[in-house]
Structure 1
Amino acid sequence: MSTERFETIVIGAGQAGLATGYHLTRCGQRFVILDAHDRVGDVWRERFDSLRLYSPARYDGLPGWGIPAPAWSWPGKDEVADYFEAYAQRFALPIRTGTTVDGLSRDGDRYVVTAGTDRFEADNVVVASGTWQSPVVPDLAERLDPRIRQLHSSDYRNPSQLQDGPVLVVGCSHSGADIALEASRSHRTTICGPVRGEVPFDIEGRLAHLAVPIMWFMANHVLTERTPVGRKMCTHVRSGGGPLLRVKRADLAAAGVEHFPAKVTGVHDGRPVLDDGTAFDVRNVIWCTGFRKDTSWIQIPVTGSDGWPEQSRGVSPDHPGLYFVGLPFLQAFASMLTGGVGRDAAYVAKHIAKRVVVRSPEAVA
Structure 2
Amino acid sequence: MTMTTEQFDTIVIGAGQAGLATGYHLARRKQRFVILDAHDRVGDVWRERFDSLRLYSPAKYDGLPGWGIPARSWTWPGKDEVADYFEAYADRFSLPVRTGVTVDGLSPGGDGYIVTAGARTFEATNVVVASGTWQTPVIPDLAEQLDPRIRQLHSSDYRNPAQLQDGPVLVVGCSHSGADIALEVSPAHRTTICGPVRGELPFDIEGRAALIAIPIMWFMANHILTERTPMGRKMRPHVRSGGGPLLRVKRADLADAGVEHFPAKVTGVRDGRPVLDDGTELDVRNIVWCTGFTKDTSWIRIPVTGADGWPEQSRGVSPDHPGLYFVGLPFLRAFASMLTGGVGRDAEYVAKHIARRSNRPVIRPSAPDLMSGHPSLR
Which band: TM-score by shorter chain? over 0.9
* Per-residue Cα deviation, 1:32-61 (whole angstroms, up to 9, x for no partner): 000000000000000000000000000000
| Contact 1:112/1:121 (<8 A) preserved | yes
Matches within 5 A, 1:1-365: 1-130=3-132, 132-357=134-359
SS of alignment partner, residue 116 of structure 2: strand
Distance 1:357 1:109 in 2: 14
User: Could you tell me how far 1:357 is from its partner in structure 2?
Assistant: 2.5
Residue type matched to 2:182 in 1?
A
SS of alignment partner, residue 234 of structure 1: helix
Percent identity of equivalent pairs: 85
TM-score (norm 2): 0.94
Out of 164-173 and 224-233, give the one that drifted further: 224-233
SS of alignment partner, residue 133 of structure 1: strand
* Per-residue Cα deviation, 1:74-111 (whole angstroms, up to 9, x for no partner): 00000000000000000000000000000000113220
| Contact 1:131/1:336 (<8 A) preserved | no
Distance 1:19 1:248 in 2: 32
Residue type matched to 2:212 in 1?
L
User: Could you tell me how far 1:231 is from its partner in structure 2?
Assistant: 0.9
In structure 1, the partner of 2:364 is none
In structure 1, the partner of 2:376 is none
User: Could you tell me how far 1:131 is from its partner in structure 2?
Assistant: 5.1
SS of alignment partner, residue 237 of structure 1: helix
Q: Which runs of 5+ in 1 are unaligned?
A: 360-365
Distance 2:169 2:135 in 1: 25
Distance 1:223 1:287 in 2: 29
User: Could you tell me how far 1:358 is from its partner in structure 2?
Assistant: 8.0
User: Could you tell me how far 1:18 is from its partner in structure 2?
Assistant: 0.2
SS of alignment partner, residue 13 of structure 1: coil
Distance 2:99 2:242 in 1: 32
Distance 2:165 2:84 in 1: 31
Distance 2:71 2:65 in 1: 15
TM-score (norm 1): 0.97
SS of alignment partner, residue 8 of structure 2: strand
**Count of aligned pairs:** 359
Residue type matched to 2:65 in 1?
P
SS of alignment partner, residue 147 of structure 1: coil
Residue type matched to 1:311 in 2?
Q
Residue type matched to 2:353 in 1?
H
Q: What is the CA RMSD across the aligned residues, in angstroms?
A: 0.9
User: Could you tell me how far 1:16 is from its partner in structure 2?
Assistant: 0.1
In structure 2, the partner of 1:363 is none
| Contact 1:11/1:34 (<8 A) preserved | yes
| Contact 2:62/2:341 (<8 A) preserved | yes
Distance 1:218 1:293 in 2: 26
Residue type matched to 1:155 in 2?
D
User: Could you tell me how far 1:232 is from its partner in structure 2?
Assistant: 1.2
Residue type matched to 2:196 in 1?
P
Residue type matched to 1:281 in 2?
D
Distance 1:290 1:106 in 2: 31
Residue type matched to 2:278 in 1?
D
| Contact 2:130/2:327 (<8 A) preserved | yes
